[in-house]
Amino acid sequence: MKQIKDLYEKDKPREKLILKGAPALSNRELVAVIFGNGGKNHPLMTISKEVADLLEEKELSALDIKLLSAVPGVGSSKACQILAAFELAKRFYTESEKPLIRTPEDLLPLLKIYADKKQEYFLTITLDGSKRLIDIHVTFIGTLNYTSVHPREVFALACTDRAASIIVAHNHPAGTLIPSDEDRLVTRHLREAGMLMGIGVIDHIIFTKGNGYYSFAANGELCLN
């Protein structure tokens, strides 16, 4: 089995990556770059092959410190390197796939399935610190009023999602976009609760069939005074 020192300079994983880019490397070579070096009686390319084989056999969700460190020559330190690299890649890949919600227009296409409902659907939209969508939750179905939409349910969802902020939204089956007194009362109630929780309610959107909507934020109705 070749060791790194026995390979031609241009064929060493790190040098190959520099010359040709990461996509040109095999799974074994990518693992070797992450590890950097082998250990006593465990050449780098040997343990890299065994780890690469393990990665190809197992689901990523099944990988853990115990499983990886059981490979001869890996140990907990190198297992941590692999798991950290995977977690970082997963976070950035997932982040890039999440819709960025900067305006009501960014969100409305995601709410279309509720626009035709015969009843009012109250939705809690959770966002991360970059205002990217985490999830859309149906929090309540029925006529909106002060007692039906309780902050406990809304912010329990936000806490579960570890949201930095939320948008709440509901449809008006009758087609009107004029907020009712109850709409305004619910909005104020949630804003007050959000301030205590440290999770901002950045908008309340009323939407109807088609593209019509009313944004509390755009109309300056999110102040508490």
Chunk the chain into consecutive blocks of 10 residues (it has 225) and report each block's average pLDDT, rounded to whole numbers: 48 78 79 75 78 74 75 79 78 72 93 90 92 92 70 92 94 90 92 93 92 92 68
Using the structure block, give the residue that is written with the tokens 């499983």. 67
Q: Final residue of a domain: which of 69, 96, 123?
A: 96
Is residue 54 within 8 Å of 68, Cβ to Cβ?
Answer: yes
Tell me: do 109 and 87 sit in the same domain. Answer: no
Q: Is residue 122 one of the residues assigned to a domain?
A: yes
Same-domain pairing of 91 and 113: no
Give the domain extent around 168: 104-215
| pLDDT of res. 1 | 46
Last residue of a domain, one of 96, 126, 141: 96
User: Given this model, what pLDDT does residue 121 score?
Assistant: 93
Q: Quote the pLDDT of residue 63.
A: 73
Tell me what pLDDT residue 101 has: 93
Domain shared by 53 and 133, yes or no: no
Task: Give Cβ neighbours of residue 190 (< 8 Å, ≥ 6 apart).
Answer: 149, 151, 154, 168, 201, 204
SS3 for 40?
coil
What's the domain count of the chain? 2
Q: What is the pLDDT of residue 224?
A: 56
Counting runs of H as helices and runs of E as strands, what totals does the chain give? 8, 5
pTM: 0.60
Which of 74, 96, 118 is the C-terminal boundary of a domain?
96
pLDDT at 8: 45
Sheet strand arrangement including 165-171: 133-141, 121-127, 165-171, 200-207, 213-215
Residue type, 175: G
Q: Is residue 223 part of a domain?
A: no
pLDDT at 45: 82
pLDDT at 103: 93
- For the record, the structure tokens of 131 come out as 């205002």
Which amino acid, 190? L
CA 179, CA 181: separation in Å to the nearest integer?
7
